[in-house]
Amino acid sequence: MKERDPRERATGRLEPLARVGDPNQANLLAAQLRSEGIPVHVHGELSGPYPVGVGGLAEVELWVDEGHMAQARAVVAEFRFS
């Protein structure tokens, strides 16, 4: 069976997938999602002009299109945070 183009699942509505307390881990998870063909939007410490690395201010949010949410949750479940 032919693999569906990821753009076919996109609805245009973003939903929060995960909050990650470590910006490096957030980058790794975003890279894993992208390698699985899931477009991901990263918001938080990494996207601002003044990076903050303390407590909740360092949290990074990963957002995906609602059409990719089930697959993205499966990737997060298998991702190893260290």
Higher pLDDT, 80 or 72: 72
- Does CATH number 3.30.70 belong to domain 21-78? yes
Residue 2: pLDDT band (50, 70, 90) is very low
Q: What's CA 56's distance to the chain center, in Å? A: 17
Alpha helices in the chain (DSSP H): 6-9, 23-35, 69-78
pLDDT by residue (tens digit) across 6-65? 556 677 899 999 999 888 899 999 999 999 999 999 988 655 566 555 556 678 999 999
Of the segments 1-5, 50-54, 78-82, which one has the largest average pLDDT value? 78-82
Where along the chain do its domains lie? Answer: 21-78
